[in-house]
Amino acid sequence: MSISTPIREAAEYINKHLGTVKNPIGIILGTGLGEFASEIEDAVEVPYSQIPHFPQSTVEGHDGKLIHGRLEGQEVLAMKGRFHFYEGYGMEHVVFPIRVMKYLNARFLLLSNASGGVNPDFKVGDIMVIEDHINLFPSNPLIGPNDDEMGPRFPDMSEPYDHKLNAQMHVAASQVGIPLKKGVYVGVSGPCFETPAEYKYIRIIGGDTVGMSTVPENIAARHLGIPVTALSVITDLGIEGHVEEVSHEEVQRAAQEAEPKMAKVVRAFFANLS
Ligand code: HPA
């Protein structure tokens, strides 16, 4: 892959400071899910502020560090804190870490997020495996000149979330007795939460959950040919007739409460991988 100088410099710094990264599973920990990072064994970490060209996260509850270590025998490289479009970053900054992950030879990505449930079968605290997404961001990280060595000008998106990895996630979840939902994640810019009419619209167009991340990262990863699996923790509900007031604090609290469940599923998933 031809690589822009900032991506290469960031990756080289990471390799120097975290010990050689070989073939990790890349993990992005969403809002309220950062505690998971403390489960990583033999962890070596570096704050984003020290990595050349890495954007800095500005949101409360997003710590901003990269952690390299092992979990259930698997090499992992986890991002505690991600970059959101609503923070004012250009899409190229939102997806910068994904491109660094490619340069660091990530075998696949496990993305996680907090989201609002619009499927009436969902409850707060449920975890959904993302099967597909709808991009309602006003942009796309691939707009602009294409680097043909990163990926094609018009990337295929027929399998945005890897069927095999998703199936393995369901197997792992049933082994630990935590049933998972599955469905479509609708990505929006935020930062305001949705109006009742918007939640209704999101349901009508085929969404099961809505959130402010993940979609740009998925698009960048698929452009690079990296397989993706993703988990969405439902932190609030936007169900017609039951739309309640929602705050970032509530989203964080609900995600933190569900985090041990997610950790259990992910551990079982990793333990099953060869
Ligand atoms: N809408 C958008 N993003 C979110 C929500 C929501 O209801 N909950 C958590 N992230």
- Range 76-83 average pLDDT: 94
pLDDT of residue 9: 94
pLDDT exceeds cutoff 60 at 62: no
Mean pLDDT over all residues of the chain?
A: 93
Ligand 1 centre to CA of 270 (Å) is 27
* Closest approach atom of ligand 1 to CA 237: 7
Q: For 176-218, how does the pLDDT look when each residue is reduced to its tens digit (9 = 90+)? A: 999 999 999 999 999 999 999 999 999 999 999 999 999 999 9
Atom 6 in ligand 1: which residue has the minimum CA distance?
116
pTM of the model as a whole: 0.95
Domain that holds residue 188: 5-273
Write the residue with the smallest CA distance to atom 2 of ligand 1: 211
Tens of pLDDT, residue by residue over 152-162, are 999 999 999 99
Q: Which amino acid is at 163?
A: H
Assign 36 a pLDDT band (cuts: 50, 70, 90): confident
Alpha carbon distance 195, 197 (integer Å): 5
* Nearest alpha carbon to residue 33 among 267, 251, 269: 251
Give the confidence band of 63 by pLDDT, cuts at 50, 70, 90: low
Asked whether residue 61 carries a pLDDT value surpassing 80, the answer given is no
Give the distance (Å) from ligand 1 centre to CA of residue 15.
Answer: 34
Residue nearest to atom 3 of ligand 1 (CA): 211
Has residue 57 got a pLDDT over 70?
Answer: no
Statement: residue 227 has pLDDT above 80: yes
Q: How far apart are CA 215 and CA 85, in angstroms?
A: 11
Mean pLDDT across 43-61: 83
User: Of residues 184 and 62, which shows the higher confidence score?
Assistant: 184
d(CA 47, CA 97): 13
Tally of domains in the chain: 1
If you measure from the C-alpha of residue 191 to the centroid of ligand 1, how many angstroms do you get, rounded to a whole number?
9
Q: Which residue has the tokens 């990163």?
A: 150
Residue 224: which CATH number? 3.40.50.1580
* DSSP per-residue string spanning 60-119: TT---EEEEEEETTEEEEEEES---GGGT--HHHHTHHHHHHHHTT-SEEEEEEEEEE-S
- How far is ligand 1, taken at its centre, from the CA of residue 213, in Å? 10
Percent of the chain with pLDDT over 70: 96
